[in-house]
Copies of this chain bind each other. A is one copy, B any other.
Amino acid sequence: MTDGSIGSKRRNRRRASQDAPAKTVGRTVDYHNLRSPFPTMDVFSPDQAASMHETALTILEDLGTRVLLPEAREIFTKAGATLRGDDTIHIGRDMVNAALSSAPKSILCKGGIPTKDFVLEQGRLVFQAGAGAPHATDLDRGRRPGSARDYIEYLQLTQHFDVFQMISPQVEPQDVATHLRHYFTTEAQLIWSNKFPFTFSRGTPQVMDCFEMIRDYRGLSDADFASAPQTYTIINTNSPRTLDIPMAQGLIDFARFGQLSIVTPFTLMGAMAPITVAGAITLSHAEALAAITLTQLVNPGAPVAYGTFTSNVDMKSGAPAFGTPAHFQASLAAGQMARLIGLPWRSAAGSASNSNDVQAANENQMGLWGCLMAGATVVIHAAGWLEGGLTVSYEKLVTDVEVLNMVAELCAGASADPADIGYATAIAEVEPQGHFFATSQTMERYATAFYDPIVHDYANFGTWTERGATDANNRATDVWKDIVARKDQPGLKSDSLGQLKDFIARRTAEGGAPPES
């Protein structure tokens, strides 16, 4: 089953327990539709946050942003922005405010089937696996350049776990030629997954190919396709203060066709951003506002998400660090900016570690809690990311999913009604120093009371040793191999698959589409 082993196991246990005489009171946990139960945390005072927003508007107005794509400069200047020098665009406050008014606060994202749709808006919680890595690694095969096989296997894994609502641009299939790579990645997403797919902004020809494939293979009319986002892209600005050609083109193409751009300045404090959280997020905020404004000038109401990915460098070596206190605070600060403007928004977890060790686990979870307490709508790189994004790890994907599943369980909340407290059905039934294994309340609930882990092991030391003393990483290897071996193709519809293959064959014969605008 592609719905995730957790949910399936739980359902099976519930079904089995129907043969038992006692009524089973089940928890219902919907990993696909999560609302954050976590209170948001501010790192700055409201006045300081307001002053950061004002400073960002001043940056856009007075310092300006380099916009390298002529078409984008034209869109800005036609709307009233000022061009100074060759390519620096100065955007007034009014234009930014108008864009923030027209950008939707709630966005329905479409999967391949209705149960894979989800909504992006503040208060929701969506996870995406580690993305954009040139390398893949696992304990069996070691670290290697990402390949088509890795791409598909990683896709099987992210499809399998319900806690990932979006497909990520996970690992770069370096063995596929760049002018044909987008055919491969889009076809793979459509065959091996039924979730919300990703499209790289690597020039209009590639983007249009991808849009066409998604529309036709998922059996959508042009109107269907435009009615709600069927795919999304990530837009990284070139910090500081530069919007390059493919990124600007992506913003324009996605806005025009009603598809989702997630705008994410990627800034490292002390390197391409100020050394302070306040400075780095102010700069990142300005850059995000410029990109959001462009989408709304192209198509008012176009779906766009705010975002940030800001951490710090190690000042001794200049190396990027993740899951640090500064990374955590940057997420909190971005959350304050996001709440000021009201848009759904993304932040990111991540790890700088070179293997899936304790450092990797601790960094990723620290980064995750920063996102959760910041109120991030989408947590990107929530699982599997090593080396600051240069590698995705199969085992780390699995061990991080354990954490995400637990967060999803927390989203379900808990109740303390009298039946839950169980004064009569549990507490009064048990004598002092007795046990609760057989109380009425326990009998009703034992089958579904607790989260059932995928890789964590509760065996005692003796049993664990007898079983081979395997650590979480080695157990994770068994988990991912089992999933990959199933070869589930939930996106497969044979009638449209033929068309898709024909399309790719034709476009390949025509020379494909190089990654250029």
Which of chain A's residues 310-325 have a Cβ closer than 8 Å to chain B? 312, 314-315, 317-321, 323-325
On chain B, the residues within 8 Å of A360 by CB distance are 358, 472
**A29 CB, nearest partner CB in chain B, Å:** 9
Indicate if the CB atoms of B414 and A277 lie closer than 8 Å: yes
Specify which of B369, B447, B472 is in contact with A358 (CB 8 Å cutoff).
B472
Indicate if the CB atoms of B279 and A441 lie closer than 8 Å: yes
Indicate if the CB atoms of B373 and A38 lie closer than 8 Å: yes
Answer yes or no: A270 CB below 8 A from chain B CBs: yes
The size bracket of the interface on A is 35 or more
On whether A451 and B326 interact (CB within 8 A), knowing A44-B415, A352-B458, the answer reads yes
Specify which of B55, B416, B473 is in contact with A44 (CB 8 Å cutoff).
B416
Indicate if the CB atoms of B427 and A59 lie closer than 8 Å: yes
Indicate if the CB atoms of A269 and B449 lie closer than 8 Å: yes
A361-384: CB near B (< 8 Å → 1, else 0) gives 111011001000100000000000
Which of chain A's residues 412-461 have a Cβ closer than 8 Å to chain B? 413-418, 420-423, 426-428, 430-437, 439, 441-442, 445-447, 449-451, 453, 455-461
**A85 CB, nearest partner CB in chain B, Å:** 10
Indicate if the CB atoms of A432 and B321 lie closer than 8 Å: no
On chain B, the residues within 8 Å of A315 by CB distance are 446-447, 449-450
Closest to A366 in B: B406
A476 to B461, CA, bound (A): 22
Indicate if the CB atoms of A325 and B410 lie closer than 8 Å: yes
On chain B, the residues within 8 Å of A320 by CB distance are 458
A21 to B515, CA, bound (A): 48
Closest to A324 in B: B451
Specify which of B319, B402, B423, B433 is in contact with A242 (CB 8 Å cutoff).
B433
Indicate if the CB atoms of A456 and B352 lie closer than 8 Å: yes
A76 to B499, CA, bound (A): 83
Indicate if the CB atoms of A275 and B449 lie closer than 8 Å: yes
Closest to A402 in B: B362
Specify which of B329, B362, B366 is in contact with A414 (CB 8 Å cutoff).
B329
Indicate if the CB atoms of A353 and B456 lie closer than 8 Å: yes
Answer yes or no: A101 CB below 8 A from chain B CBs: no
A378 to B324, CA, bound (A): 23
Indicate if the CB atoms of A422 and B270 lie closer than 8 Å: no
Which of A318, A399, A426, A450 gathers most chain B CB within 10 Å? A450
Answer yes or no: A208 CB below 8 A from chain B CBs: no
A363 to B181, CA, bound (A): 39
On whether A437 and B358 interact (CB within 8 A), knowing A366-B406, A406-B324, A415-B44, the answer reads no
Which of chain A's residues 456-471 have a Cβ closer than 8 Å to chain B? 456-461, 464-465, 469, 471
A273-290: CB near B (< 8 Å → 1, else 0) gives 111111100110000000
A39 to B41, CA, bound (A): 6
Answer yes or no: A185 CB below 8 A from chain B CBs: no
On chain B, the residues within 8 Å of A341 by CB distance are none
Answer yes or no: A517 CB below 8 A from chain B CBs: no
Specify which of B38, B241, B406, B449 is in contact with A41 (CB 8 Å cutoff).
B38
Indicate if the CB atoms of A461 and B399 lie closer than 8 Å: no
Indicate if the CB atoms of A416 and B52 lie closer than 8 Å: yes
A143 to B196, CA, bound (A): 48
On whether A450 and B38 interact (CB within 8 A), knowing A66-B433, A421-B279, the answer reads no
Answer yes or no: A61 CB below 8 A from chain B CBs: no
Closest to A65 in B: B432
A195 to B271, CA, bound (A): 40
A468-487: CB near B (< 8 Å → 1, else 0) gives 01011100100000000000
Answer yes or no: A359 CB below 8 A from chain B CBs: yes
Chosen A-B contacts, 9 in total, with CB atoms closer than 8 Å, are: A242-B432, A274-B421, A278-B420, A315-B449, A315-B450, A354-B459, A359-B455, A362-B456, A387-B461
Residues of A within 8 A of B (CB): 37-41, 43-45, 48-49, 51-52, 55, 58-59, 63, 65-66, 88, 143, 238-242, 269-279, 282-283, 312, 314-315, 317-321, 323-326, 328-329, 333, 352-363, 365-366, 369, 373, 387, 390-391, 396, 399, 402-403, 406, 409-410, 413-418, 420-423, 426-428, 430-437, 439, 441-442, 445-447, 449-451, 453, 455-461, 464-465, 469, 471-473, 476
Besides the known contacts A240-B432, A312-B450, A359-B456, 12 further A-B residue pairs in the complex with CB atoms under 8 A apart? A240-B436, A242-B432, A274-B421, A277-B420, A278-B417, A314-B458, A318-B437, A333-B416, A352-B457, A355-B471, A365-B366, A390-B460
Give the top 8 A-B pairs by smallest Cβ distance, nearest first. Answer: A278-B416, A48-B416, A325-B409, A361-B361, A357-B471, A359-B472, A274-B426, A278-B420
